[in-house]
Amino acid sequence: MGIVIKVPVKVPTKVEVKVPIKVQPKITVKVSSTTVEPEEETPRFLSRKKEKPKPEFIVSDEYGNFFCGYRHGYPYWCDKISEAKELSEPSHFQALIRWHKHKKLKQEFL
């Protein structure tokens, strides 16, 4: 057979790898006399102010027709109030006034 020689070899049991952290979380610390408590940041979507809902209205002309939307790119008017389109932006009403300069349009708030 052959000759076996035992040589002691040191094998590292722990390998430490340091990974640089580029993004560190933003933590604010509130210090009081005896305790230290981390103060949580409020998420951006919760900190937004809630907007008030804009008043909805329908548009009618001097003949009792109601604005029902657009058909083929043109404003569509109907005499049924159930089909009337509810608007909430004042700019929509201004656009209808510019489109129909010959009609007397009025807003009816709901």
Distance CA 67, CA 106 (A): 11
pLDDT digits (tens, 9 = 90+) for 7-54: 676 666 666 666 566 655 565 656 555 555 556 666 666 666 667 777
Q: Can you name the residues that pair with 87 across neighbouring β-strands?
A: 57
- At 79 the pLDDT is 93
- Quick check: pTM over 0.85? no
Confidence at 102, pLDDT banded by 50, 70, 90: confident
Report pLDDT for 83.
92
Q: What are phi and psi of 108, to 5 degrees?
A: -125, 110
What pLDDT digit, counting tens, does each position of 50-95 carry?
677 777 899 999 999 999 999 998 889 999 999 999 998 888 899 9
Q: How far apart are CA 52 and CA 49, in angstroms?
A: 9
Q: Report, as an integer, the average pLDDT of 88-103.
A: 88
DSSP letter string over 16-77? ------------EEEE-SS-EEEEPPPPHHHHSPPPPPPPPEEEE-TTS-EEEEEETTEEEE
| Residue of 99 and 5 predicted with greater confidence | 99
In this predicted structure, what is the pLDDT of residue 6? 72
